[in-house]
Structure 1
Amino acid sequence: MKEGFNENLPEKHLNIFSPKKSETLKPVFIFIHGGSWDSGKKELYSFFGKRLARKEMVAVIIDYPLSPEYIISDMTTATAQSVKWVKENIDNYGGDPNQIYVSGHSAGGHLAALLSTKDEYFEALDIKNPIKGAILIDAAGLDMYTFLKKKNYPAGTSYLKTFTNDSVIWKEHSPIYYIDENDPPLLIMMGGNTLPGILSSTKRFLEEYKEIVPDPNYHLQEGKKHAPMILQFFNSNNKTYDWIEAFIKNNNN
C-alpha cells in the first residue's frame, strides 16, 4: 500500500452468488450497498445476488468500513481492495476476471462511480483498474464538493463525519471531477422523485459526462423515490434487469 492510505482497515468479508450450473465464466457484478456512508450491510442484499445469479451473472455483495469510525478515503480503499480480491479470485467461483462490473445504490453508487473514474486507489494497490463498466443506481455524492459547500454544515456534523471538514477532500472524492475518455462505460439510473441532492448532483454529473459521451446510457425512472430505486430489484422481472443485461452484453461485444 502506498503512502497516504490507511493500512489499518478492519477485515471485511463478501458474499458470492454464482449460477448453479455453468460451463463458461460469467460476467461479474459487484454490488456496494448504500446507507449514507454510516450504515448498511451486505446481508440485506442477498436477494439481489440471488436474482443476478439466476440471470447468469456471478454477483459479489461487499461490505466496507463505515462512518464515524472511518472516513471516505478508508471506504474507497477498502472497496478497491475488495475489487482487487475479486479480480484475483473470482474465476474460482465461475466469474470472468476480465468482465468485472461495479454497481451501487446511494452511497454505494458514489463509491462505484469514484472507483470507475479515479484510478488512484487501484494504483495504490499496484494493479490496473479492472472495472469494465459501472451501474449507478440513484447514486449519491457525485458532486459532494458542491453539495457540502451549499449545505455549510457545522464542523464535525452530518456528512462531514465521513468527508471531514476539509473541502479539498470533498473535491478529491467527487467523481464529477475525474470524468475523462479513459473511464469505463456507465449505466446511470435515477429516480424522478429522489432526494434533491441526488437530483442536482446527477444533473451536473450528466452535463460533464455528456462532454465525453454525448448520448449516455441514462434512465430516469419517473415518480421513483430513493429507497424504491433499490427495492425494485426484488422483482426479477423488473425492467432494470433488462437494462443491466443489455449494458453488459453490449459492452462485451
Structure 2
Amino acid sequence: MDREALDRLYNNRAAVPTHQQDMDRWAAESAVTRQALSCRLDLAYGAHPRETLDLFTVPEPGRPLLVFIHGGYWQALDKSSFSFIANSFVGPGGSPLANVAILNYPLAPEADMDRIVASIRRALLWLWREAAPLDFDHNRIFVSGHSAGGHLTAMAALTEWEKLDGAAPADLVKGGLSISGLYDLLPIRHCYLNDRLGMDDVVALRNSPLPLVAGWARPLPSLICAVGGAETPAFLEQQHDFVTAYKLRGGKVTAITAPDRHHFDIVYGMAQPGGDLQTVMAGLLR
C-alpha cells in the first residue's frame, strides 16, 4: 500500500470532521471531574516533566487500580483531557470500583518510540511499588488506553517485568482494555505519522504488539480489544489480526466492535456507568 493510501487510512481527524467537538467535550468533562472527585494531580513517576500522573481515589482501601493511557498518536494530547474516564470507576457517576490513574508520557519528536514505551513501563512499576502509600491493591493493577494508548496498553501486557525489576511479579498487569488500538507499527512507519515519530523498521517491529505476541512463550493477561464500527478499515484490520494472534498464543481476549462508534466517540462507552466498555472493564476489575 502506498503512502497516500496509508495516510488516508490513519488520519482519524480527517475521517471524523466533527472530532474537535469530541475533544472539546473531553476537556470540559474532565475539568468538572477534577473538581468533583478526590484526586492527586501531577504525581511524578520519573524524571521527565511529562512523566506524571493524576490519581483519582476511592475511599475504601485495597481496591484495584485502573491505569488509563491517552492517545494522540504518541505526539499530542495530555492526561488533563481524560480525567472524565474516572467518573464511572471512582464515582460519583458510578459505584466505587477502582482507583484510576491517568498517565502522561514523553511525546514525539522529543521522545522516540522506545523511550515512550519505556516510560509507560516505568509508570506501572512506580505504581506497583507505591501501592501501599497510595492505598490500592498492588496485586490488582489493570491497564487501559485509547488509540496510541491502546498500543501502549498492549505493550504493557507484553512486558517481562522481572527483567526491569527483579522483585516485580511476572503478572504485574492483571488485564487490560485496548480501545481503538494499534498493534502493527509498520504501516505507521510508512505514513505521514512517521515524519515526527522517526521510526525505522527495526524500531517499529520491536514496539509492535502483533509480532511480539506471535513469539510470546509466557502466560498472557486477559485483554479486551474494542474498536468502533465506523472507524477506518485499518483499525478494524489491526484489531482482527492482533486478537487472532493473541488467541493463537493461548491468551484470553474479548473482541468488541462498537456499532456506529468512530475513533473519537468510542471512549464515551468507557466513561459512562453502564456503557459497553465500562461494563466489560468492570467485569475484569471484579
Deviations 1:114-154 (A, max 9, x none): 1211327x6235444411111111112x0112x246xx34x
Alignment TM-score, normalising by the size of structure 2: 0.74
CA contact (8 A) 1:101 1:131 kept: yes
Partner of 2:57: 18
| Aligned residue in 1 for 2:194 | 159
Q: Secondary structure at the match of 1:210?
A: helix
Q: Supply the distance in 2 between the matched residues of 1:199 and 1:64 (Cα, whole angstroms).
A: 26
- Counterpart of 1:227 in structure 2 is 264
Q: Which runs of 5+ in 2 are unaligned?
A: 1-45
Separation in 2, partners of 1:28, 1:234: 16
2:174 aligned counterpart, secondary structure:
strand
CA RMSD across the alignment: 2.2
Q: What SS does the aligned partner of 2:267 have?
A: helix
Q: Could you tell me which amino acid in structure 2 is paired with residue 95 of structure 1?
A: F
Q: Does the Cα contact within 8 Å between 1:118 and 1:178 map onto a contact in 2?
A: no
Aligned to 1:4: none
Gaps of 5+ in 1: 1-6
Distance in 1 between residues matched to 2:80 and 2:267, nearest whole Å: 14
Secondary structure of the 1:229 match is: coil
Note the 1:1-253 alignment, pairs <5 A. 9-10=48-49, 12-19=51-58, 21-22=59-60, 24-54=61-91, 55-119=96-160, 123-126=163-166, 127-129=168-170, 130-140=172-182, 142-145=183-186, 147-148=187-188, 152-153=190-191, 158-162=193-197, 164-179=198-213, 180=216, 181-213=218-250, 216-249=253-286
Provide the secondary structure at the position in 1 that maps to 2:146: strand
Go from structure 1 to structure 2 and tell me whether the alpha carbon gap of 1:10 and 1:189 turns closer, same or farther (over 3 Å shift).
Answer: same
Q: Taking structure 1 as the reference length, what is the TM-score of the superposition?
A: 0.83
- Any conservation in 1 of the 2:272–2:278 contact (CA below 8 Å)? no
Do the aligned partners of 1:58 and 1:94 also contact (CA within 8 Å) in 2? no
Identity score, percent: 22
Structure 1 counterpart SS, 2:114: helix
Does the CA-based 8 Å contact 1:191-1:220 persist in structure 2?
yes
What is the CA–CA distance in structure 2 between the aligned matches of 1:168 and 1:51, rounded to whole Å?
39
Q: Which moved more, 1:44-53 or 1:166-175?
A: 44-53
